[in-house]
Structure 1
Amino acid sequence: MSKYLLDKFLYTIDRDPELVERYRTNPVATVTWWEDEYARKLLNCHGGEATTWLSFEAAERQALVNQDYAALFELGAHPFLTLTLFIALFERDYDEPLGFQLAYANTLQGWLGRPYPDFSTP
């Protein structure tokens, strides 16, 4: 598993409003495109380089495609990157102030009193 690649996806998608919308409406195509094309350019890798850290593992890909921030949290994605991207994706779906943030906190409430997953990138 490459937490660095996972975090890089969250960071780059969140920083571009067009990519946020693309990911919101078509997560499968966005994850596939980003992994196959964008990650290599972003990380300065030439076409002949083939290493496992340039692709998501099945659990990572599934969590990204399903836009499952709880699974991403458990996989060790950085919580601030996850929160900011998912605010951009889903805040508009809530009528009350801080609606998504409260839903996010409620979803991750099971982690209270437990050690956080390791989200360091060695």
Structure 2
Amino acid sequence: MSKYLVDKFLYTVDRDPELVERYREDPRGTVAWWEAERANVILNCHGAESSSWLRFEESERDALSTHDYPALFDLGAHPFLTLTLFIAMFERDHPPLGFQREYARRLSDRTLPYPDIAT
């Protein structure tokens, strides 16, 4: 798994309100677009520098494409990146702190040690 690439997706989408809405409404299309157009752009790099080898594994693509944050957690995605993006997308559908409670409930069956979140 490329924890770096999954975390990069979560980080970059979370910082762009238009991408947050796009990802909420069309997760599969947004993941496919981002992988093709943005995955290989070097973060914090000015100019046209990019790499050419980064791709999601099928399990990562599936979890991202279905908003499956428990699966992303199990794959080692950084929980703070996952939580902040999914709050931005789904907090409006819940009462105050409702999404955070739902997030915690859906991850409550996980036990230590958690997946390594180092990249």
Question: What TM-score does the superposition give when structure 2 sets the normalisation length?
Answer: 0.91
Q: Which residue of 2 aligns with 1:45?
A: 50
Runs (4 or more) in structure 1 with deviation over 4 Å come to: none
SS at match of 2:38: helix
Q: Please provide the CA RMSD for this pair.
A: 1.2
**Is the aligned partner of 1:30 residue 2:35?**
no
Question: Which blocks of at least 5 consecutive residues in structure 1 are unaligned?
Answer: none
Q: 1:13-67: per-residue Cα shift (whole Å, max 9, x none)?
A: 0000000000000011100010001122245325xx3x3xx10000000000000
Q: Greater helix share, 1 or 2?
A: 1
Q: Distance in 2 between matches of 1:27 and 1:41?
A: 20
Q: Which residue of 2 aligns with 1:98?
A: 97
Question: Which blocks of at least 5 consecutive residues in structure 2 are unaligned?
Answer: 44-48
Q: Distance in 1 between matches of 2:28 and 2:63?
A: 11
1:1-122 aligned at under 5 Å gives the runs 1-43=1-43, 44-45=49-50, 49=52, 51=53, 54-94=54-94, 96-111=95-110, 113-121=111-119
Same amino acid, percent of matched pairs: 65
Q: Distance in 1 between matches of 2:40 and 2:70?
A: 27
**Letter of the 2:73 counterpart:** F
